[in-house]
Structure 1
Amino acid sequence: MATVLPELVSYLEGLPEPHILFDRQYRIVAANAAYRRQFSPRGSVIGRTCYEVSHHFSVPCDQAGESCPLARSRETGQRERVLHLHHTPQGESYVNIELVPLREVGGELAYFIEKMEPLRVAQGQPAAQGLIGRAPAFQRMLELVSRVGPSQASVLLLGESGTGKELVAQAVHEASLRAAKALVVVDCASLPETLFESELFGHERGAFTGANHSKPGLVEAASGGTLFLDEVGDIPLLMQVKLLRLLESGTYRRVGSTELRHADVRVVSATHRHLRAMVADGRFREDLYYRLSTFPIALPPLRERVEDIPLLAVALLARVTPDRRMALSADALALLQRCPFPGNVRELRNVLERAALLADGVCIEAVHVERALDTEDPHAGRELWSAESSHPAPASASGMSLRCVERAALRAQLQTHRGSRAELARKLGISERSLYRKLRDMDSADPPGP
């Protein structure tokens, strides 16, 4: 190995991506110019351990709660890939790591080459845009994004409303070989069935009343890039057949045309619905489901990444108050971390925007967050009762307060509703937060059981 090492070091020096060479004791033997520029512009890293330089750890990654590609490579004898959060002069950044073991003449692993590719679509610190987080659930999701991004596989994003599905779709697109082309978003929930086909595939002049000229569709606009089908669970059954044809053959026809066109698109779809249950109920085609879900990625709700709330809060506050340099007190942050946030990151953003408007100074205190959390539609109670007007009022309603009447109406609705809390909130004409608050109030008002 000693005779090969100088040539190997010279080879690594000419590579455009950051590379290091280190031994079995994690000591860096060589670092190329790209690595030095990006990770250590002010000093030498030779002789230092990779975990100390990259992570500021005093022990190897697998002893500090992270996966260690070297440890895994020792076990498998194969190359390994992981996603790590590295320290750089610009702050902490996500980096895709590919480690290749090198063997001595006798077959024993002696050195390891580590290639690093920054994942520019996500940050481990507050940022002006993009994905932000460092919680384990967030990092697991991000690793899947980094693995599937360079491929052509169809991706299905599964997550609750407000978890950032469009941002993740953007990350998949930017990690792909199609990043220089367009990412075209199709909001499936907002397109009426009568217009869905013409919007997606385009139409010819005279194809229907009002079609005064030919128009290309969103599939054509996404040529060479990525087509993002948001809320794919809302696609009508008839259109599901035509979408399946596009995915299977890469061909489609404009409305009013017999010409078969070819589409060069990569499809990323997203939904907050339970597609498997919809397949079982006959509301979603099974063959389309399997075409879309070649590589499913579950997006964690905010309650599973509570430790990310301080990072997200700082970044979101800067976005919603660009003209005011506002900060959050420690008590305000602690209060935010105790909130369930059923609306996830979108709801957190709304709360921060309200809290900023309620604060006169440059610091948001816990009292401002409390007021922002308590702010709700002043007509919510009236709408709730109106939504229940078809139910007979309890016999003693005339002697009850408005709040008690509202609780009784809510109990009546809960007894018959079989869907999600989000669907119930929409049915009642109130926000999910208002619904959860009313449910808590109802539970606290009810006497304890026997």
Structure 2
Amino acid sequence: MHPSPPLPETLTAWLESLPEPHILFDRHYRILAANAAYLRQYGQGRPVLGRTCHEVSHHSSVPCDQAGESCPLARALQSRQRERVLHLHHTRCGEDYVQIELLPLRGPGGQLQYFLEKMEPQPSASGAAAGAQGMIGRSPAFQAVRELIARVGPSQASVLLLGESGTGKELAARAVHEASSRAARALVVVDCASLPETLFESELFGHEKGAFTGAHAARAGLVEAAHGGTLFLDEVGDIPLSMQVKLLRLLEGGTYRRVGQTELRRADIRLVAATHRDLRAMVREGRFRQDLYYRLSTFPIQLPALRERAQDIPLLAESLLQRVAPGRRLTLSPAALRCLVQHPFPGNVRELRNVLERAALLTDGDTLTGPAVARALSFDQGARAPEAPGGTAPGADLRSLEAAALRSALQTPGRTRRELAQALGISPRTLYRKLRALQL
């Protein structure tokens, strides 16, 4: 491999002037130049020049496309144009999602010779649980959603978030807002399902004094509060038909009227909507306006159910435990994790949080055990427990999970029954009773 010629001083000076982390590398992934922002984020006290980009950013000995991710260099060689991808990078703050923008540069002979890469952090997403408050995950389904958010966030396009209840639609809406140029302004959440039809218009658009009984003073609406920022309509499928035409006028013309006022007002808003309903079916049934549906769904994003990203459960559980029991350093035993991963979670992340909070309340020690998690899952009589081969009843399946967890714990050598009970977060008497009941 021939050494690369020295770079012009003007190029290195220009790189240093850029606030975001930037690197320049060749077709062999070797970093030829890196600005100070990149060194602060990725250097970690080690030199980066001459090393490969995947070694520094991913701690990987092979390029991204050989490690299960999309490689922007490989894509640029094929498309011969600018490429953007979302990657999980090792930064000084740990593993975080980063938006990569790669620009191929041509050499004297017109061939693609150098590649300029810009890295923008995604503050509302994390690939680790510690301290994370936004979207968390590493699964392919999660990364696909994050890439769509990274692409649509900087635009002004309306976004429609689709998915079951509890999949994190409000977190996704916040991620879209934070990826936009409106991030410094307000994100105003409107819970459409909780607003009665009689109050919907005044809550959304505001009202003038005396507009209706009880309107003792003029009041600004939520649209006005979102001016310059983002308006998030949660459960948009519950908006009354009578209000849908007024919402359409707002989205198409940016104008609205307060209740009791004839003067048109203008609102500069970016709209994000969410629903767990099938809006297309509602359109066919005449319960949702077709023109409003197409205005809302400029850029639809389907959020995966938790069962479709089960590999994210350990990360989510670690983060949720910090929230439901902030004063305790709780961990999950391997049996408890297996119990969680095997559960279908029809209530998605919201149900996972409930289960973990119950299990924490049922545990006196620092470790959530398989029996504690199985008991927490059994509280939801309406939720489907993991089905055992041959159609075992849910209660029997939970007992088998508990028995398996106890058998696993009993195999630990050199541990007394009292120590075992303490590790399981139960009293010795409870342990003896469970062992007798399970004939262990």
Question: What is the rounded CA distance, in whole Å, between the counterparts of 2:82 and 2:165 in structure 1?
Answer: 38
TM-superposition CA deviations, 1:140-171 (whole Å, max 9, x none):
00011111111111000001000000011011
**Conserved? CA contact 1:128–1:318, under 8 Å:** no
Structure 2 residue 156 is matched with structure 1 residue 152? yes
In structure 1, the residue matched to 2:87 is 84
Provide the residue aligned with 1:124 in structure 2: 127
Of 169, 172, 196, 1:192 maps to 196
Partner of 2:236: 232
1:309-331 residue CA offsets vs partner (Å, 9 max, x unmatched): 00000000010000111111111
Checking the alignment, whether the CA contact within 8 Å between 1:17 and 1:34 is kept in structure 2 is yes
Q: Secondary structure at the match of 2:166?
A: coil
Runs of 4+ in structure 1 off by over 6 angstroms are none
Q: CA deviation digits over 1:190-223, x for unaligned, max 9?
A: 0000000000000011111111111110000111
Paired residues for 1:9-408 under 5 Å = 9-126=12-129, 127-376=131-380
The alpha-carbon distance between structure 1 residues 439 and 77, as it changes in their structure 2 partners (threshold 3 A), is closer
Quote the Cα distance in structure 2 between the aligned partners of 1:303 and 1:438. Answer: 11
C-alpha distance in 2 between matches for 1:353 and 1:46: 48
CA gap of 1:128–1:439, structure 2 versus 1, over 3 A, is closer
Secondary structure of the structure 2 residue equivalent to 1:305: helix
Maintained 8 Å contact 1:128/1:319? no
What is the CA–CA distance in structure 2 between the aligned matches of 1:337 and 1:365, rounded to whole Å? 14
- Tell me the percent identity: 70
Q: Distance in 2 between matches of 1:8 and 1:331?
A: 55
How many angstroms apart in 2 are the aligned matches of 1:19 and 1:176? 21
Report the counterpart of residue 403 of structure 1 in structure 2: none
Counterpart-to-counterpart distance in 2, 1:165 and 1:70:
32
Structure 2 contact 343–386 (Cα < 8 Å) conserved? no
What letter matches 1:133 in structure 2? Answer: G
Q: Deviations over 1:305-358 (max 9, x none)?
A: 111000000000010000111111111111100000010000000000000000
SS at match of 2:116: strand
Does the alignment pair 1:434 with 2:382? yes
Q: Shift of the alpha carbon at 1:57?
A: 1.2
SS of 2:194 mapped into structure 1: coil
Deviation at 1:6, TM superposition (A): 3.1
Per-residue deviation at 1:271?
0.1
Are the aligned partners of 2:344 and 2:385 in contact in 1 as well (CA < 8 Å)? no
Task: Check conservation: 1:187, 1:229, Cα contact below 8 A.
Answer: yes
The answer to whether the Cα contact below 8 Å between 2:344 and 2:384 also exists between their aligned partners in 1 is: no
Give the unaligned 5+ runs of structure 2.
Answer: 394-440
Q: Which residue of 2 aligns with 1:393?
A: none
Q: How many residues align?
A: 389
CA distance in structure 1 between the aligned counterparts of 2:88 and 2:178, rounded to whole angstroms:
19
What is the aligned partner in structure 1 of residue 429 from structure 2? none
- One-letter code aligned to 1:237: L
C-alpha separation in 1, matches of 2:226 and 2:187: 6
The one-letter code of the counterpart of 2:306 is L
Distance 1:77 1:357 in 2: 57
The AA in structure 1 aligned to 2:269 is V
Distance 2:86 2:391 in 1: 44
Distance in 2 (CA, whole Å) between partners of 1:195 and 1:133 is: 38
TM-score norm. by structure 1 comes to 0.84
Over 3 Å counting, the alpha-carbon distance change for 1:91 and 1:199 in structure 2 is same
The code of the aligned residue for 1:49 comes to: T
What RMSD in Å do the two structures reach over aligned CA positions?
Answer: 1.8
Quote the offset at 1:289 in angstroms. 0.4
Contact 1:154 1:268 (8 Å CA) reproduced = yes
CA-to-partner distance for each residue in 1:259-287, whole Å, 9 max, x for gaps? Answer: 10001111100000000111111110000
Q: Is the 8 A contact 2:344 2:386 kept in 1?
A: no
In 2, Cα distance between the equivalents of 1:206 and 1:363?
A: 59
Question: Which segment is superposed worse, 36-45 or 219-228?
Answer: 36-45
- The answer to whether the 8 Å contact 1:31/1:46 transfers is yes
Q: For 1:62, what is the secondary structure of its paired residue?
A: helix
CA distance in 2 between counterparts of 1:12 and 1:128 reads 31
The Cα shift of 1:56 comes to 1.2
Question: Which whole-Å deviations, capped at 9, do the CAs of 1:389-444 have from their partners, x for residues lacking one?
Answer: xxxxxxxxxxxxxxxxxxxxxxxxxxxxxxxxxxxxxxxxxxxx61535999x965
**Aligned residue for 2:407?**
none
| One-letter amino acid matched to 2:268 | D
Task: Give the C-alpha shift of residue 374 in structure 1.
Answer: 0.8
Match of 1:402 in 2: none
Give distance in 1, aligned partners of 2:7 and 2:52.
Answer: 22
Residue matched to 1:415: none
The structural deviation recorded for 1:4 is: 6.0
After TM superposition, the score normalised by the length of structure 2 is 0.86
Shift of 1:7: 2.1
